[in-house]
Structure 1
Amino acid sequence: MPLHFLTADGELDTAPSDTPLPHEERERWRRPYRPGPWRVGGAALLLLLASYMLLSTLIIAMAGTLTEAGVCLAGAVLVIACALRLLRVGVWVSAHGIRQVGLITTTTLAWQDVTAVRTVQQPVKWLGTPRTVQGQALLVEPRGQESLRTVLTDHNADFLARPEAFDRAADVVEAWAAEYHRPQHP
């Protein structure tokens, strides 16, 4: 069973260089990069914790009451859901727009609502913690809003210690924006 949320499109590396968007199905949401080792490692640790919780559920069900086992099972299911959601976190693009998937929320902007997508040097959060370091960020400027949204940084869980992967992902997102951004006349 292919796990599409874990893989980026391999066609990006093997496509001819004359096409910026070498995809046949442009309507499908896709992540333009592979999840980083920090994100995959965090999800693996959560799944390891869930396996211990499921083993505890079995032991509690055999020795204790079913309600206690049910509580432990519900906790394990919640940890598994968090691990799967952690793997989906990131930026997704399609012909419809750009989607930023977070652990709890998802925000989608249509390409018509985007005025600019650009890479800038600025202080960025290190692995999502309050600590900031100097780095690069891919910003999306939505139409009608004065604030810029940070979409990707080179110090997040997908790109820490992988600057070339950040550059490729930023270039692909900018190419999608250039392809589908149609300015509206007032």
Structure 2
Amino acid sequence: MTEIQTPRLLLRRWRDDDLVPMAEINADPEVMEWVGDGSVRDLDETAEDIERWEEQWDEEGFGLFAIELLASGELIGFTGLSVPPYLPELEHEVEISWRLGRQYWGQGYASEAAAATLEFALQDRGLDRVIGIARLGNDASENVMRKLGMEREREATHPVHGYSLFVYAIDLTEYEA
């Protein structure tokens, strides 16, 4: 079982009791504002998401971690690695992403979890490069990417929704520098 512990967090695979708290996070319009078309996701959609994330672990050797607060055992969201299925020009890239419940914003959890995930990607999984994708206006995600040492590489357009995206990247040599 793949787990990563940081000073405040446990990044781990998904469990059955994660469904309801993750569905509550996905049901918050403010959390989902920057995801896809901004629609919230219900319990069944969240269950499908978690099943897909777990399948990706089995197929790719990486995926999205559940993020648990060490102090309380509470699920606060996810972070992890995936291949961005919505951008065909990036189908050979691995993206780092995160989604946290609104009550956990502004406390450094996203940066802490993402930094551990980036190290996992480049050191443990042997990836040479990781990208991050942020929708235009999602300053919080861009800030996390910059904290990780990622640099804005280019702009893209979401093929379905038509909004602008920024693609950030870091490679192994930049990470080790």
Q: Tell me the TM-score range normalised by the shorter chain.
A: under 0.3
In terms of Rg, which structure is larger? 1
Q: 1 or 2 for the larger relative contact order (CA 8 Å, sep ≥6)? A: 1
Give me the TM-score of the superposition, normalised by structure 2: 0.28
**TM-score if structure 1 supplies the norm length?**
0.27
